Amino acid sequence: MDFNVIIDNFPFLMKGLLTSFQLAFLTIFLSLSLACLIAVGRISNKKYVRYPSAIFVNLLRSNPLILIVFWFFFLVPLITGTPLPAFGSVLIAFVVFFSAYFAEIVRSGIQSVGNMQIKAAQSTGLTYPQTMRLIILPQALRNMLPALVTECVIVFQGTTIAYIIGMREFLHSTSLVAERTIRPIELYLFAALVYLIICFTGTRIATLLEKKE
């Protein structure tokens, strides 16, 4: 075994890792924002808001991420008429997919805040959107921080799926080097180690947050 091959290709591999992080962070930011809207929609008393939100969430949670990626990869160019760059299609697929999962976490958080806070805020004249934005969602997100962090780790692990449509994230970069240097053992074990360290740190943070409560 020759681990020098990792050192020789380090910049290339790190570029892949950076791409993984970029995809993860963008996904988390966008899908969490979308998730807040969906979560509020889930608890709405207007049926025409509540039902579509529920259908959206259940639809997405019933399908594997890789299939959703294939769906968007096929549909997005079809609808827009132009082939989208890999990052764009994958990002949309990821954001839509994970927003369903984040939405359930946020919804649980909203329910943990309780009805009386909503009434108190409304009694001072705040509108429902203001109440959600200023009072309920900040508390909901705070309450669900451990679950949110865990989901973020899952997002990061999910970035490996972008490999399949050719995006140069970390796993793909690793396999390219493995093929080129014919040293799969060193490269894949290295990749596993990197993911292990990052995700372990993430789950540790989530556990610590949970203990704090």
Partner 1 sequence: MNYEFNWSMLLEEPYIDWIIEGLLNTIQLSLMAWCIALTIGIIIGSIRMMKSPILRFIGTFYVEIFRNIPLLVQLFIWFFVFPLLLPDNLMRAWNSLDGVPFLTALIGLSLFTAARVAEQIRSGIKSIPKGQFNAAFSTGLNTFQTYRFIVIPYAFRIMIPAIASEFLTIFKNSALTLTIGVAEITAAATYIESDTFRGIEAYSVASLAYMFTTASVVIFMTWLENILRIPGLIGKK
Partner 2 sequence: MNSPLVEIKDLSLKYGDYTALQSINASFFPGKCVVICGPSGSGKSSLLRCVNKLEEFDKGDVIFNGESLKKTKNISQIRSNIGMVFQHFELYPHLSVLSNITLAPIQVKGLSKTEANENAMKLLKRVGIDDQANKYPAELSGGQQQRAAISRALALEPKLMLFDEPTSALDPEMISEVLKVMRDLADNGMSMLVVTHEMGFARDVADEVVFMDEGKIIERSSSKSFFEKPRSERAKEFINKVLLKI
Looking at the Cβ atoms of 29 and 74, the one nearer to partner 1 is: 74
Rounded-to-integer distance, Cα 174 and Cα 172, Å? 5
Looking at the Cβ atoms of 30 and 189, the one nearer to partner 1 is: 189
CB atoms within 10 A of CB 185: 11
Rounded-to-integer distance, Cα 207 and Cα 199, Å? 12
- Return the residue of 14, 55, 75, 134 that touches partner 2, per CB under 8 A: 134
Binding segment toward partner 2, per CB under 8 A, in 73-81, 113-121, 169-177, 189-197: 113-121
Rounded-to-integer distance, Cα 62 and Cα 65, Å? 9
Per CB under 8 A, contacts with partner 1 among 147-166 are: 153, 157-158, 160-161, 163-164
Rounded-to-integer distance, Cα 41 and Cα 51, Å? 9
Binding segment toward partner 2, per CB under 8 A, in 26-34, 118-126, 191-199, 201-209: 118-126
- Return the residue of 84, 126, 165, 209 that touches partner 2, per CB under 8 A: 126
Q: Any contact of residue 44 with partner 2 (CB under 8 A)?
A: no
Q: Any contact of residue 130 with partner 2 (CB under 8 A)?
A: yes
Distances in whole angstroms, Cα of residue 68 to Cα of each of 14, 40, 60, 166, 196:
27, 24, 8, 16, 26
CB atoms within 10 A of CB 174: 27
Give the DSSP letter string of 168-198: --HHHHHHHHHHHHT-HHHHHHHHHHHHHHH
Residues that bind partner 1 (CB under 8 A): 59, 61-64, 66-67, 70-71, 74-75, 78-79, 153, 157-158, 160-161, 163-164, 171, 175, 178, 184-185, 188-189, 191-192, 195-196, 199-200, 203
Residues that bind partner 2 (CB under 8 A): 116-117, 119-127, 130, 134-135, 138-139, 142
